[in-house]
Amino acid sequence: METAIKANGIVKDYGEVRALNGISFDVKPAEMFGLVGPDGAGKTTTIRLLCGLLSPTEGSAEIFGMDLVKEKVKIQKQIGYLSQKFSLYGDLTIDENIEFFADLHGVKDYKTRRNELLEFTRLTPFRTRLADNLSGGMKQKLALACTLIHKPKIIFLDEPTTGVDPVSRRDFWKILSNLIKDGVTIFMSTPYLDEAERCNRVALLNNGKVMSFDTPKNIKASVQTTIVEIVCAPIISAYNLLKEKSNYEVQMFGDRLNVAVSDYQNDIDVIVRLLAENGIQLADHRVIPISLENVFIHLINESSSK
């Protein structure tokens, strides 16, 4: 099968700072691929490199078999890029913004395409509204419409739902799902592990290195551990106690703890006893499915202990 994107041992240095440290992965056509990691992991640098906006210090990348450095101009005609700070023109209407980006990409007969995109993003009723007067979610939809005006084969989205309300995030994901059905390849970065679960495949990135690269299901299956959800009070005291007095991996989610154990029957007895000995009341506990967030933290802990 043809590969849409292929990264081969990419290294990117900014002076003495190594932002990317030999990352490799591939993306299939019409795949939704997620690059997942915290701020500073190297997500934006990776996207800018794959869009031809930066050159790698070492390694190489290909887009549909074309070398990213040698055939950059040809590649850039086939891709769309929605950056974290996409520059809409606030004093232009929705229609005028799309028209501007059509001109920028040399799309002459853009009106039919613009109408399709406005219907697609459900922005038709607001087409005469100034971009400055749009909500955060509507601005992201407009930014996506501008990115799609020249019918790119691949779109790069850099944290597209950061700062967007939950309803708009849901709408945005529906739009992306429809793009996949139309054969568009989507490469997106996100700090949200729940969003990564929606992707066909993901690369977990931390400190410029790919820690794991596979389907979300396979990544979760690769970690041989059981997650126990614990409800107790006071929760912060329980968290600190388990972190200091045990060797278990502990994560706090609101009023619950996730504890990674290797032998549930024995380990839960140890945990219950430790909590009771320190005056912490256990309300409930249960085994829950492992999440990508559990795996991500496990891999970070594992790499830092080496």
Structure-token pair, residue 233: 């009070």
Residues linked to residue 229 through DSSP beta bridges, in sequence order:
258, 286
Dist CA 287 CA 243 (whole Å)? 19
Write down the pLDDT at residue 286: 96
Domain boundaries, the chain: 5-215, 224-289
Contact (CB, 8 A) for 141 and 171: yes
Contact (CB, 8 A) for 226 and 261: yes
Structure-token pair, residue 269: 């007895």
Distances (CA, A) of 2 to 26, 31, 50, 140, 199: 10, 12, 17, 30, 19
The angle formed by the CA atoms of residues 293, 62 and 42, to the nearest 5 degrees, is 35
Chain-centre distance for alpha carbon 81: 15
Write down the pLDDT at residue 19: 97
- Per CATH, domain 5-215 is 3.40.50.300: yes
Residues linked to residue 78 through DSSP beta bridges, in sequence order:
none
Write down the pLDDT at residue 83: 86
Write down the pLDDT at residue 1: 55
Kindly give the pairing relationship between strand 32-36 and strand 185-190.
parallel
Per-residue pLDDT of the chain (306 residues; tens, 9 = 90+): 589 999 999 999 999 999 999 999 999 999 999 999 999 999 999 999 999 999 999 999 999 999 999 999 999 889 999 987 767 889 999 999 999 999 988 898 899 999 999 998 999 999 999 999 998 889 989 999 999 999 999 999 999 888 778 888 888 888 888 899 999 999 999 988 888 999 999 999 999 999 999 999 999 999 989 999 999 999 999 999 999 999 999 999 989 999 999 999 999 999 999 999 999 989 999 999 999 999 998 888 887 766
Burial of 198 (0-12, 13-18, 19+ CB in 10 A): middle
Topology annotation, domain 224-289: Alpha-Beta Plaits (3.30.70)
**Which amino acid, one-letter code, is at 241?**
L
Write down the pLDDT at residue 136: 85
